Amino acid sequence: MTTANYQKHHCPIAQAMAELGDQWTLLIVRDALLAGRSRFSEFQESLGISRNLLTLRLTKLCDAGIFERVPIAGSKRHAYVPTQKCRALRVVILAMGEWAEKWANDPHIHHLDVLEKTTGQPVTVGFFRREDGTIVEPDAVDIVRHGNQKPDHGGKDLS
């Protein structure tokens, strides 16, 4: 399935995969959001990704509006700064992190704490919530595509 094919399906998951679905992209985002890295060489050293591929990935991420190339004051070099679109991936990253903490079988896996900036108080990641803010248990939700009440269908396309 090419990027063109993803687009054709108009499925949000497929679209997300078209922008994020390779080995490196989400690790670059992680480095930016969780470790504050922003320079080419910081990503390169941290990840061990090959330099030409990192160039490609950062270019794609900038084109997608996930990072912004920002000139560094008093220098002609620049930083790759996460945009709001990038910061919006925080929930995705944390969902993956919590999943791995629970399900990956690495006994030495690290724990990611989420803290409120102003107070430093721990915050929990919740996943399903009603409009009034109350919590809904994961098993108590259905997922339906727009205009279709059945969660599973017999047709070929998903969205």
Q: Taking CB under 7 A as the criterion, which residues in 28-57 touch DNA?
A: 39-42, 48-53, 55-56
Residue 78 contact among its own copies, DNA, none, beta carbon within 5 to 8 Å by kind: DNA
CA distance 67 to 29: 9
Whether 20 contacts 26, CB under 8 Å: yes
CA distances from 138 to 21, 87, 142 (A): 25, 24, 9
Structure letter (DSSP) for residue 140 = G
Rounded Cα gap, residues 23 and 9, in angstroms: 22
- Is 76 or 124 the residue whose CB approaches its own copies more closely? 124
Where in 54-113 is the site for DNA (CB under 7 A)?
55-56, 58, 72, 74-79
Q: Which does 81 bind (CB under 5 to 8 A by kind): its own copies, DNA, none?
A: none
Min separation Cβ 127 and its own copies, Å: 5
